[in-house]
């Protein structure tokens, strides 16, 4: 009875480790670059994303107190 209890505990721990490693997928880092070509203050992130997309970035968003257009891409 004692050996079956230890076997059950060992299996439970292995399953928990397996699930824990599968639950947290690896995420790519995202780098930001301020766009110099974006004129004026950035209030609409969709406009910023459009400018960034035309320059080869994957996205863009308005950011900071200066409301700068920050282009994003995977590092």
CATH numbers and ranges of domains, the chain: 2-74 (3.30.30.10)
Asked if the model's pLDDT at residue 38 lies above 60, the reply is yes
pLDDT for position 3: 72
Phi, psi angle pair for 42, to nearest 5°? -100, 110
Q: What is the distance in angstroms between the CA of the first residue and the CA of the last residue of the chain?
A: 54
For residue 40, is it left (φ>0), alpha (ψ between -120 and 50) or beta? left
Whether pLDDT at 35 is above 90:
no
- Asked if 35 contacts 48 with a C-beta cutoff of 8 angstroms, the reply is yes
Task: Please state, rounded to an integer, the average pLDDT across all residues of the chain.
Answer: 80
């Amino acid at each position: 009875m004692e050996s079956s209890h230890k076997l059950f505990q060992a299996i439970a721990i292995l399953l928990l480790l397996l699930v824990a490693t599968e639950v947290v997928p690896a995420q790519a880092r995202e780098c930001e670059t301020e766009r110099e070509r974006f004129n004026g203050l950035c209030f609409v992130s969709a406009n910023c994303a459009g400018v960034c997309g035309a320059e080869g970035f994957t996205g863009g968003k308005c950011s900071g107190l200066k409301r700068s257009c920050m282009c994003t891409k995977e590092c």
